[in-house]
Amino acid sequence: ASSEGEPESKAFFQYGHLCPECGQATLIYEEGCAKCYSCGYSEC
């Protein structure tokens, strides 16, 4: 068992924060808005 306490997505190359829609770490803040490059989710 891992004791690092890191999320499983850490094993993959990570771009940004975890997306609430698809769970990928591809949520990037651009122009004041969070946008997911995996599924197209946007907070705006």
Domain count of the fold of the chain: 1
1-44 residue pLDDT tens: 555 555 554 444 556 899 999 999 999 998 899 999 999 999 99
Rg of the chain, C-alpha, whole Å: 12
Say if 33 falls within a structural domain: yes
For 18, the domain range is 12-44
Predicted local confidence at residue 40, as pLDDT: 95
Say if 18 falls within a structural domain: yes
Say if 34 falls within a structural domain: yes
Predicted local confidence at residue 4, as pLDDT: 56
Please give the model's pTM, rounded to 2 decimal places: 0.59
Predicted local confidence at residue 20, as pLDDT: 95
Say if 2 falls within a structural domain: no
Say if 28 falls within a structural domain: yes
Say if 1 falls within a structural domain: no
- Planar angle of CA 23, 44, 33, nearest 5 degrees: 75
Predicted local confidence at residue 15, as pLDDT: 65
Is the separation of the CB atoms in 35 and 28 below 8 Å?
A: yes
